[in-house]
Amino acid sequence: MHASAAILLLNQQLTRLAPVDILILVLYFALVVFIGFYAKGKANTSEDFFLAGREMTAWIAGLSFVSANLGSLELMGWAGAAYQYGILAAHWYWIGAIPAMLFLGIVMMPFYYISKTHSVPGYLQLRFGEGARAVSAVSFAVMTILMSGVNMYAMALVMKTVLGWNISFSIWVGAATVALYVMLGGLRSAIINEVLQFVLIWAGAAMIPILGLIEAGGWTKLKAQIAVNVGTTDYGHMWSTLGSFKDNPMGVHWTGIVFGLGFVISFGYWTTDFLVVQRVLSANNLRSAKLAPVIGAAFKMAVPFIVILPGLLALAVLKNADGSIMHLVPESVAATTGQHSYNEVLPLMLIRYCGPGLLGLGITALIAGFMSGMAGNVSAFSTVWTYDLYGAFINKKASDKHYVAMGRWSTVIGMLVSIGTAYLVMNAASIMDYVQALFSFFIAPLFGTVILGMLWKRATHMGGFLGLLAGTVSSVGMFIWVQGDAGALRYIAMSANAKPMAENLYRALWSWIICVVVTVVVSLMTKPVPTAQLAGLVYGVTPIPDDGATTIWQKPIFWAIIVIVVFFILNLIFW
């Protein structure tokens, strides 16, 4: 989802772990494998393996929902983005997540949950037929494998840099561990480990902002020091500099942030990306399914504290051996000069503040984040492959036991393919930008198709299929146009002053508009689906079952209102 996260090019070992740090790391690996064996006995049916038996509470599903997204792109990429762009990077956590997560819980989960689908492509099949399912399933399968490989390579580079481990050894150890516990216990094992990883990430990463703010003398003094070091106060404002492409470090306009990120990319990712939606589908009842994204949104608002704040602190406190301010550089420069790159912010800050024991906990937290990202992608790939490609087009009449076996084998095969993509990454320093671009090809038009399918009963099978196809193709076309002609960005972002960061935002917006327009036009020209066939799939023809909430405290909508109020207050505070 995040366009600025780039591959880590760490080229020298930063520190060495004490025996107690190594012990913490070994215990972590042993624990996640144990969880896989523990969960194996409860993963005998397809419902158990792919949806954890739909037994997860709202809290477990909600924490897993956030943790599945809290991988290397989050931890490393956005700490580096905060160093590069300032607090503007927090938009990807607040407006770029919170409204969409609440919308998923309150509006969309009833349909996902009561349709009993195993996946988002599965919902598209019910609503728009096999064509729409095939387009989304193939796109999603490719994206998850690429993303898993990038997570794997990023983790291996951190292990190499911080621990001195061999790259190949790190890749295979991480891959084997994740493949083992997902293959054994399916989604249940992945969810349990993601909750563990969520706790570890907070325990290990929260030390940096706390100790950093103490060193900087508080938030006000931190902003003042950053202004001195970078020569502008723009790095401390979220909204007041977005009136013009020229007035902020990102080179974006508020329309791109609000509509491109806050609406299309955010809603596309959080409401239609099966990697995260799968976690919520595991909830034990409709109320838990609605409440899980609300709980996730509450925790998501706090994540900038451990991801964005370290990047801001680095602007103020990181110094060279001679006491001068350390200036981190882009990846391409770091590769040739040996300097530290933007994405080394988190390891550098971790080493700055953590001694023996604490350093082991911090490194374990980073590795937990990487493995969380890998597990999320691999478990989602296994489900989509088994149900929406193999079961839909190759072997439609196999037994439930056969599909569970296929799920386990596809986990292993998916991980092996991910290892291949991890090795490919070594030869392409900018692969992350391309992966993020490819990812947005998928989610922006998919959101247009899903939201029209749920809210507009007149949308037809042909309209949904051609709209999704047109949106995806147009997004790829705009990407190729800008890659071939940098000047094309002025047309896509509608400004000659736009910078590359704006391209993903506006390309997503245009591809969503194209998807919606094509879907509407084709639907109006083709025969409507009989209303009787839309029950359980579309608002207006589906009675929403009661979620069992009897008091205001039990109602998901009540807590969603609390979260959105806090969201607005935070944006005003950091305006």
* CA distance readout (Å), 354 to 18, 80, 285, 303: 12, 19, 42, 20
Token couple for 127: 């609503």
Residue 104 and residue 270: Cα distance in Å, rounded? 7
Tell whether the torsion through CA atoms of 141, 45, 180 and 70 is positive or negative.
positive
Overall pTM > 0.85: no
How large is the C-alpha radius of gyration of the chain? 23
Angle at 129 between CA 128 and CA 133, to 5 degrees: 90
Residue 167 and residue 346: Cα distance in Å, rounded? 19
Token couple for 111: 């349909």
Token couple for 157: 């580079």
* Contact (CB, 8 A) for 63 and 296: yes
How would you class 499 by CB atoms within 10 Å of its CB: exposed for 0-12, middle for 13-18, buried for 19 or more?
middle
CB atoms within 10 A of CB 401: 11
User: What does the buried/exposed string (b/e) look like for 337-353 if buried means 16 or more CB atoms within 10 Å of the residue's CB?
Assistant: eeebbbbbbbbbbbbbb
CB atoms within 10 A of CB 299: 17
How would you class 16 by CB atoms within 10 Å of its CB: exposed for 0-12, middle for 13-18, buried for 19 or more?
exposed
Residue 367 and residue 72: Cα distance in Å, rounded? 8
Question: Residues 232, 233, 235, 236: what is their CA dihedral angle, to the nearest 10 degrees?
Answer: 170
DSSP three-state, residue 543: coil
Residue 412 and residue 43: Cα distance in Å, rounded? 16
Token couple for 560: 């969603």
DSSP string across 61-129? HHHHHHHTT-SHIIIIIHHHHHHHHGGGGGGGTTTTTHHHHHHIIIIIHHHHHHTT-SSHHHHHHHHH-
pLDDT of the chain, 575 residues: tens digit per residue = 443 333 333 445 556 777 888 888 888 888 887 887 777 767 677 776 776 667 778 888 888 888 877 766 677 778 888 888 888 888 888 998 999 999 998 888 887 777 777 677 888 888 888 888 888 888 888 878 877 777 787 777 777 767 777 778 888 888 888 888 777 777 777 777 778 878 887 877 788 888 888 988 888 888 888 888 877 777 778 888 888 888 777 778 888 888 888 888 888 888 887 777 878 888 888 888 889 999 999 999 988 888 888 888 888 887 776 767 777 777 667 667 767 777 778 778 887 877 777 777 777 777 777 777 777 778 788 888 888 888 888 888 888 888 888 888 888 888 888 888 887 766 554 445 555 566 667 788 888 998 898 889 899 999 999 999 999 899 889 888 887 887 888 888 877 777 777 787 888 889 999 999 999 999 999 998 888 888 878 887 877 777 777 888 888 889 999 999 999 999 898 88
Residue 187 and residue 384: Cα distance in Å, rounded? 13
Q: Which of 281, 296, 268 is nearest to 114 (CA)?
A: 281
Q: How many residues in total does the chain contain?
A: 575
